[in-house]
Amino acid sequence: MTGTKAVVAKRVDTGSADLEEITDLARSAGYDVVGSLTQTREEDAAYGFGKGKVDELAAVVRETDADVVVVDNRLGPYQTYNIGQKLPEGVEVVDRFTLILDIFGQRAHTRKAQLQVELAELRYELPRAAAKASLAKRDERPGFMGLGEYDESRERDIKSQIANIKQELDAIADKEETRRAERRESGFDLVALAGYTNAGKSTLMRRLAEDLDVDENEDLHPDLQTTAESQDELFTTLGTTTRRADTGMRNVLLTDTVGFVSNLPHWLVESFQSTLDSVYRADLVLLVVDASEPVEEMREKLVTCHDTLYERNEAPIVTVLNKADKVDPEELEEKKQALTALAPNPVVVSGLTGENVAELCERIEADLPEWHDERLMLPMTDDTMSVVSWIHDHGHVDAEEYTDDNVMLEFKARPEIIEKARSKAADLSVAAN
């Protein structure tokens, strides 16, 4: 796809069409954007755009010798065909969601990511397969309007494939939920990074994690990576990447997930439900926002993120205004004030320079589920020191005193860790007697 020339186009009902995101998406997919076109009018049933505007689009394609037209709207099958008929022969028409699926397909490197992309593609194809069959039946001409030959069983096949993929994804989700439970039982707090693509989540993750990798078998835990990529690309992170973060007292596992993008249909979001579970089921969510963007764009993205997160998420959400190095302090303060309703008490940081990252670490520790205080007296046995070591690994020891017969520990930990520590202490007492 590299070197393929594309013209981007967008229609809006009112106002002015913004081509920035669709241009970034096209470039992320590997296209060389060589031209653009916009229109403000209500949707035309036949073309999406007005017929005259499609003629103008064809002229831009000829002038730029483009190979593809990328439309930042959702096109029906006949609208796609009708536009294609106006363009020079061989020029492909790609709508917004086909483009996003193409990008997802390029970024899907794990089995889970590949299944989610395949599920999204099938959900996108399903209504089109039904439309092809309906049109061909009505006109008694297979391939009517260039929509391709149809098979009456195709719709059933797609539904069957969707059911099989969902079953496999459910099995993966069950394993991941078991993994989350095991990590919590091991004393880890789970923190998820969420937010729009290109907000700097991966850069911030690298800053928080430093070089502390989770020492686990990557074959068993495919989300554990030694690095999190930081690139100026959309959807660099399609699956999830988990690393151990150094925030201070707590044992934190930080997970970076796929970035949000505006104007995604419900079926596409649902296709990536398994990845979003890493956010929904975290102990704390860091909602990362690019502070260098215009305040209205920040507001729109915060609203979309809140709609996605608050519907199912139960964990506290901390808004992180990232890329502070790109904004002067006065402008930053104005943005904070303008966004107070959507982002109360945000943390301002720069993942690139490390500015205020220490403050973010303090906020993470403060907003995680509360640790409880405990005091245990452990009888001295052959196994006592292994229990002491376990408590050090799973909590924070404030005091430790030794006598000939006992070890006294004062520590803080998650409630479930305290219960396990009490059980281990009871076992030591039985052994000592």
pLDDT digits (tens, 9 = 90+) for 352-406: 999 999 999 999 999 998 888 999 999 998 899 999 999 998 888 999 999 888 9
| % of the chain at pLDDT higher than 90 | 41
Is 240 annotated for ligand binding? no
135's enclosing H/E stretch is: helix 111-139
Is 86 annotated for ligand binding? no
Whole-angstrom distance, CA of residue 320 vs CA of residue 323: 10
Answer positive or negative: Cα dihedral of 303, 308, 314, 318: negative
Task: Report the pLDDT averaged over residues 26-55.
Answer: 93
More confident residue, 239 or 37: 37
Evaluate if residue 211 carries a pLDDT over 60. no
Task: Report the pLDDT averaged over residues 336-364.
Answer: 93
Out of 173-182, 284-293, 372-381, pick the least confident: 173-182
Is 322 annotated for ligand binding? yes
Is 423 annotated for ligand binding? no
Is 34 annotated for ligand binding? no
Whole-angstrom distance, CA of residue 93 vs CA of residue 75: 10
Residue spans of beta strands (DSSP E) within 174-271: 188-195, 241-245, 251-256
What pLDDT was estimated at residue 431?
80
Domain spans in the chain, listed from the N-terminal domain onward: 5-104, 109-172, 187-367, 372-432
Is 258 annotated for ligand binding? yes
Which CATH number is associated with domain 372-432? 3.30.70
Is 340 annotated for ligand binding? no
Within 8 A by CB and 6+ apart from 370, the residues are: none
Is 237 annotated for ligand binding? yes
Q: How far is CA 390 from the centre of its chain?
A: 34
Which pTM does this prediction carry?
0.69
**Comparing 187-367 with 372-432, is the CATH topology the same?**
no
| % of the chain at pLDDT higher than 70 | 83
More confident residue, 418 or 259: 418
Half-sphere exposure of 224 (CA within 13 A, CB side): 17
Instruction: Summarize pLDDT for 104-124 with one digit per residue, the tens.
Output: 788 777 788 788 888 888 888
Whole-angstrom distance, CA of residue 416 vs CA of residue 8: 54
- CATH class of the 187-367 domain in this structure: alpha beta
Is 5 annotated for ligand binding? no
Single out the residue of 187, 211, 245 nearest to residue 372, CA to CA.
Answer: 187
Is 350 annotated for ligand binding? yes
Q: Which of 20-34, 133-147, 171-185, 212-226 has the highest mean pLDDT?
A: 20-34
What pLDDT was estimated at residue 225?
44
Which CATH number is associated with domain 5-104? 3.40.50.11060
What pLDDT was estimated at residue 278?
76
Whole-angstrom distance, CA of residue 201 vs CA of residue 352: 10
Instruction: Summarize pLDDT for 7-38 with one digit per residue, the tens.
Output: 999 999 998 998 988 998 899 888 999 999 99
Evaluate if residue 188 carries a pLDDT over 90. no
Evaluate if residue 158 carries a pLDDT over 70. yes
Is 197 annotated for ligand binding? yes
What is the pLDDT of the chain when averaged over all its residues? 83
Evaluate if residue 220 carries a pLDDT over 70. no
Task: Report the pLDDT averaged over residues 289-312.
Answer: 85
Is 2 annotated for ligand binding? no
- φ/ψ region of 22 (left if φ > 0, alpha if ψ in -120 to 50, else beta) reads alpha
Out of 56-70, 166-180, 215-229, 403-417, pick the least confident: 215-229
Task: Report the pLDDT averaged over residues 139-156.
Answer: 57
